Structure formats: C-alpha cells, structure tokens
Structure 1
Amino acid sequence: MCDKEAEINNHLFLHCKTAVNLWHMFLCILGVSWVMPETSLDMLKHWEGMSRRRRSIEDGWKYIPACIWWTLWRERNERSHDGQASSIQKIKMKSLSLLYFWCKQDMVGR
C-alpha cells in the first residue's frame, strides 16, 4: 500500500501512512486523543473499552475500525489488482461515506 514496509496486518491497518491519515481524521472528528497500539488485537481491545464510555449519540463509534479497515482493504486491492490508486482525500471520503451508510442502515434496523 505505501511501499515503505512489509504488508502485514498491523502495518496495513494501523501504521501505514494512509491508515494513520484515516485514524487521525476520525479521531479528530470525535475529539479523541489516542495513541495507536502496536497490534490490531490490542487496538480492538482498547477501542471496545472506550466504546463503553462513549455517549449514545456517538453510536457510529463502534463501526469506525471496521470502516477504516474495509476502506483500506479495498484501496489495497484496487492498487494491487487494478493498478488504480486513489488520493488520500478520495480515500477519506470513501471511508466517511461508508460510515454514514452503515450508521444509517443501523438506524433503519432499529
């Protein structure tokens, strides 16, 4: 994805430049200070712990890791298989749109 390090789970989904940009965007929107854990498993454990403390108005909070990871995985595949790379702005918009769609679907299902 970034051609900087081996494409392993922790790098691709947490520490790659594109991943860092996405995480930073969502955390800034939520007004959260966060130090990214080393591994994806640790990140999910900490995220779940923080999710319990978030207000109900921020229900979309629970979807953010999956949203980021799905966006990154699709971008990685487009780059690897189709030779197409989106700008960071377009990747951010895709991720925000996906989160909006998932939250909207969740509200309809209630």
Structure 2
Amino acid sequence: MDHASCVLCGEEAETARHLFLHCNYAAGIWYAVCRWLGVFAVLPADVMMSYGLLVGCGRNKKIRKGFAIVWMAFIRVIWKVRNERVFNNATVEVTDAVDMVQRLSWQWYLNKMASSSCLLYEWIWNPCECMLR
C-alpha cells in the first residue's frame, strides 16, 4: 500500500499519529504549547494519549477543562495548517501556529467556560490564572 507523505514535513506517511504528534512541525507546536501552559510533557505514543496527558497535567477541575480546550485548539490548528498547505500551498511557521492555538483556545474558552472576562493578553501571559477565575 502506497502512503502519501506528510505535507508538513515530507518525511513520513501522513497518519493521524504522525500528523498530530510525531511530525517535527507538530512536535514543535506541542512543546511550545506545553511551555506556554507551564507543563512538562513528552510526546505521547498516540493522539488520544496526548489528550489525557495534557488534561491530566491540570492541577484542578477548572484547569483540566481549560487544558482540554487548548488541546482541541491544538488539534484544530494543525488540521487547518495542513489543509492550508494542501489546498492553498501556504506555509505557516510554528510560531504563527502557536499564536493561532493561543487565540483560538482563548475564544473557545471565553465562549464555553469563563465566568469572568479574560483579555487576550492575559490569556497569552498566564492562561492558568485565567482558568482559575
């Protein structure tokens, strides 16, 4: 069976595991998001383990719910960047993708969870503090 190469790195077959975690591009986003959240997490073996690992790093229920939203934004951004590459031949830098994760997760968080407002700069500066409000 012939597998298409990953459009983000061109190094391996594009599987869900590779695209969302083990591609060098996705791994760069994963580690940057973990640093932003203040957690230390290695790349897990599969996509669902990444959810459990990230959410499990939350020290309480509010932060775990916030981390779940960030994880969903992480997945969504990688898929969006992949489709931009496939359909528009556009390239998005890792730093820009991380910015997209931060902004999207902030929007989703405000729509789903926030009982008080959290400005974007506050979210980017200290997301866990916003999650505790």
TM-score in same-fold range (> 0.5): yes
Runs of 4 or more, structure 1, over 4 Å off, are none
Q: What are structure 1's unaligned runs of at least 5 residues?
A: none
Higher relative contact order (CA 8 A, sep 6+): 1
Rg larger for: 2
Q: Which amino acid aligns with 1:12?
A: L
Q: Secondary structure at the match of 2:113?
A: helix
Give the corresponding residue for 2:68: 62
Aligned length: 108
Q: What value does the CA root-mean-square deviation take over the aligned residues?
A: 2.2
Q: What are structure 2's unaligned runs of at least 5 residues?
A: 1-7, 117-133
Q: Please identify which structure carries the higher helix content.
A: 1
TM-score by length of 1: 0.83
Tell me how far apart the structure 2 counterparts of residues 57 and 41 of structure 1 sit (CA, whole Å): 20
TM-score by length of 2: 0.70
- Are the aligned partners of 2:73 and 2:101 in contact in 1 as well (CA < 8 Å)? yes
What's the offset of the Cα at 1:92?
A: 1.4
Give the corresponding residue for 1:43: 50
- Are the aligned partners of 1:19 and 1:68 in contact in 2 as well (CA < 8 Å)? no
Give the corresponding residue for 1:75: 81
Tell me how far apart the structure 2 counterparts of residues 29 and 75 of structure 1 sit (CA, whole Å): 20
Tell me how far apart the structure 2 counterparts of residues 98 and 62 of structure 1 sit (CA, whole Å): 13
Q: Secondary structure at the match of 1:3?
A: coil
What's the offset of the Cα at 1:47?
A: 3.9
Give the corresponding residue for 1:13: 20
Determine what percentage of the aligned residue pairs are the same residue.
25
